[in-house]
Amino acid sequence: MKKRIITVSGVEVAIASRHEQDYICLTDMLKAKDGNFFISDWLRNRNTVEFLGIWESIYNPDFNYGEFATIKSQAGLNSYKLSVKEWTEKTHAIGLYATTGRYGGTYAHKDIAFEFGMWISAEFKLYLIREFQRLKDEEARSTSLEWNFQRTLAKVNYKIHTDAIKEHLIPPRLSKAQASTVYASEADLLNVALFGLTASQRRQANPEQPGNMRDSATLEQLVVLSNLESLNAVLIHQGTAAPARLTQLNAIAITQMRSLLGWGAIRQLGATKAKLQK
């Protein structure tokens, strides 16, 4: 379970990902409240129970309304006590959960955590929302950069590559269909240099696999492919014949793949991308 930390009014607050949603640690947040209070003190409040019931009714199709009605009828009484465990077990709630162990605690969906922040103080709630939003903005920027880096790089190099083909390999007055055939030939030259087979050969060998081979390429292969596109453009400008280019590009692909596969940083970037796709 992935956890991140934000600092709110001097208190470190953990944020966990659960079911692709952000849950904030109420146990950490409670440290900011003056006095000797417990999360159960917040849960016994009738307004709290009503809020939790409304939230669950919106987002939880398995919410147990019968048990909720019983709890709601007792909320606010001096003798009434309710733990997070009892709340989740009786109502099948998903907005709160508790974990045990060294890094355990009670976590709440961000909507509920913001409401809990108001119970601590209005000032704390505002700072909590601000720091949470700052974290999400940073994550969005990071995700966007990592997600689009290789695609952008490939697009830039593809423009260089196709411009070189237009200038040196396409005779005048060719139709668009003829021109596309030349592009396909050059694309397959790169495919063979890097993957060892053409796009057609790949489709024949893997008829059940959708998309093209570049869609299923590894991060290392995409990096090398971008490099090969630039290098092939240079070789085209130099007038190097296709067979000679294929030999050179294949040797370069082997060398670069060996180098990248032994480089820990590219593996870490690949692992990050895989996590973001989950």
For the chain, which residues make up each domain, given as ranges? 3-120, 143-277
What is the residue whose two structure tokens read 């060719």? Answer: 174
Q: What is the pLDDT of residues 75-90, one digit of tens each?
A: 878 778 889 999 999 9
Residue showing tokens 């016994």: 44
Check if the beta carbon of residue 232 is closer than 8 Å to that of residue 244.
no
Q: Does this model's pTM top 0.75?
A: no
Would the pLDDT of 21 be above 50? yes
Q: Please write the tens of the pLDDT for every residue from 154-164.
A: 665 666 666 66
Report the helix count and the strand count for the chain, using DSSP H and E.
Answer: 12, 5
Could you give the CA distance from residue 17 to residue 23 in angstroms, rounded to a whole number? 6
Task: Indicate if the pLDDT at residue 264 is higher than 60.
Answer: no
Q: 107 is written with which tokens? A: 């976590």
Coil/strand/helix, residue 12? strand
Other C-beta atoms within 10 Å of 173: how many? 6
Angle formed at CA 126 by CA 125 and CA 127, multiple of 5 degrees: 95
Q: Of 166, 170, 45, 67, whose CA–CA distance to 115 is shortest?
A: 45
Q: Are strands 11-18 and 21-25 parallel, antiparallel or unpaired?
A: antiparallel
Q: Which residues contact 200 (CB under 8 A, 6 or more apart)?
A: 188
Instruction: Give the amino acid at 7.
Output: T
Q: Torsions phi, psi of 40, nearest 5? A: -65, -25
Rounded Cα gap, residues 29 and 34, in angstroms = 11
270, containing H or E segment: helix 264-277
Which is higher by pLDDT, 14 or 218?
A: 14
Q: What's the mean per-residue pLDDT of the chain?
A: 81
Whether the predicted pLDDT of 169 surpasses 50: no
Please indicate whether residue 241 or residue 176 has the higher confidence score (pLDDT): 241
Residue type, 155: K
d(CA 169, CA 100): 67
User: What's the average model confidence in pLDDT over 250-258?
Assistant: 82
pLDDT tens-digit readout, 104-159: 899 999 999 999 999 999 999 999 999 999 998 888 777 665 556 666 666 656 66
